[in-house]
Amino acid sequence: MSIPPAASKVVIHVAAGIVNDTKGRVLIAKRPEAAHQGGLWEFPGGKLESGESVEQGLRRELAEELGIQVCVSRPLIRLSHDYRDRRVLLDIHQVLDYQGIPQGREGQPLEWLTPEEMDADRFPAADRPVISALRLPSRYLITGAAPAAPDAFLMHLEQRLARTGVPIVQLRAPWLDTDRYADLARRCAALCRRMGALLLVNCEVELATRLPVDGLHLSEQRLLALDQRPDLGRCLIGASCHDADTLARAATLGLDYALLSPVCPTRSHPESEPLGWKRFAELVDPAPLPVYALGGVGDPDLQIAWRHGAQGVAGISGFWSRSS
Ligand SMILES: Nc1nc2c([nH]c(=O)n2[C@@H]2O[C@H](COP(=O)(O)OP(=O)(O)OP(=O)(O)O)[C@@H](O)[C@H]2O)c(=O)[nH]1
């Protein structure tokens, strides 16, 4: 039987929910062997019925499958995936409040796992970016201009982490030469570990392999120079993107996230034309990876960012300056 080309396939619109327990673990369910992607584990949910909104479908599916009542949810990530035999559009929502105790009401086995425990090979292929989204926080700090002396820089970083509680930091210091950057990165890594935050470096891939850090952030230029995902073990890898082509490139390389900028006018890049939220959403919608909004945004923009498909907000001015 020949497989129809993707464009002619019906798109199956699915709502699925991220349900947490009090320890922050996520509920997953095993798909029946005979179903599409049978035997794999999924985030509970199912196909929308005609005329249903995503929220309505999510409430109905989680009541039917788990016996819980969803009270509050928010969008986490939206993905389109082509399985050759069908195309699915997954609207994954984070359930923020629910009533009841989840049970496998259709006889499906359930498990609670932390995002770090999830093995992407046990889930349908479309779910890979969902697992990345679960491992990443909503707020992302980028270091900015700071006192030149490393001690003062570290003290500032410690204060910002304590004040904002942001759990992920990108060390951006393009004005430092390689040796100075490497020294600072080692000291920042120790500080971040002590403060319970992840440290990503923004440097050449080769240098990142020699540093004790949690991930690598690629500039757009470094992203475009790569033809495959750098081999950095379990490290997170993300990239700066400014348009649809670079977002597609980041997704093709299997990166864990992208930063898309500038969304709003920003003091750090006054020459750049802002995208605005409408264009941001248009660019994020087809991108199959978590995308942070960057540029003139901070904590107060989190809700609007989620409504426009973002993983969350990233910023220099929003989190690094003393006023934030
Ligand atoms: N619920 C859910 N479906 C997923 C996930 N990932 C993924 O690719 N899918 C796909 O989305 C589609 C969901 O359809 P479904 O068969 O579960 O829908 P349903 O609960 O309404 O079932 P039904 O058709 O038996 O009534 C399937 O093609 C499934 O493979 C996921 O994490 N959760």
CATH of the domain at 55: 3.90.79.10
Decide whether any atom of ligand 1 lies within 6 Å of the 27 Cβ.
Answer: no
pLDDT digits (tens, 9 = 90+) for 244-277: 999 999 999 999 999 999 999 887 777 778 999 9
Q: Examine the fold and report which residue of 128, 157, 179 is the final residue of a domain before the chain moves on.
A: 128
Q: Are residues 73 and 115 in the same domain?
A: yes
Q: Whose CA is nearest to atom 4 of ligand 1?
A: 42
> Given a cut of 80, is residue 3 above it in pLDDT?
no
Q: Are residues 165 and 93 in the same domain?
A: no
pLDDT digits (tens, 9 = 90+) for 14-23: 999 999 999 9
Q: Are residues 47 and 89 in the same domain?
A: yes
Residue 130 CA, closest ligand 1 atom number: 32
> Given a cut of 80, is residue 287 above it in pLDDT?
yes
Decide whether any atom of ligand 1 lies within 6 Å of the 46 Cβ.
Answer: yes
> Given a cut of 50, is residue 1 above it in pLDDT?
no
CA 43–ligand 1 middle distance (angstroms):
9
Q: Examine the fold and report which residue of 102, 128, 154 is the final residue of a domain before the chain moves on.
A: 128
Measured CA to CA, the distance from residue 241 to residue 217 in angstroms comes to: 11
**Angle between helices 244-252 and 276-284 in degrees, nearest 10:** 30
Q: Give the domain CATH number at 160.
A: 3.20.20.70
Domain of residue 232: give its range. 139-320
pLDDT digits (tens, 9 = 90+) for 129-167: 999 999 999 999 999 876 678 899 999 999 999 999 999
**267: nearest Cα among 316, 220, 301, 305:** 316
> Given a cut of 80, is residue 9 above it in pLDDT?
no
CA 15–ligand 1 middle distance (angstroms):
8
Q: Is 1 inside a domain boundary?
A: no
Check if the beta carbon of residue 256 is closer than 8 Å to that of residue 230. no
Measured CA to CA, the distance from residue 321 to residue 27 in angstroms comes to: 38
Q: Whose CA is nearest to atom 9 of ligand 1?
A: 124
pLDDT digits (tens, 9 = 90+) for 44-56: 999 999 999 999 9
Q: Whose CA is nearest to atom 17 of ligand 1?
A: 46
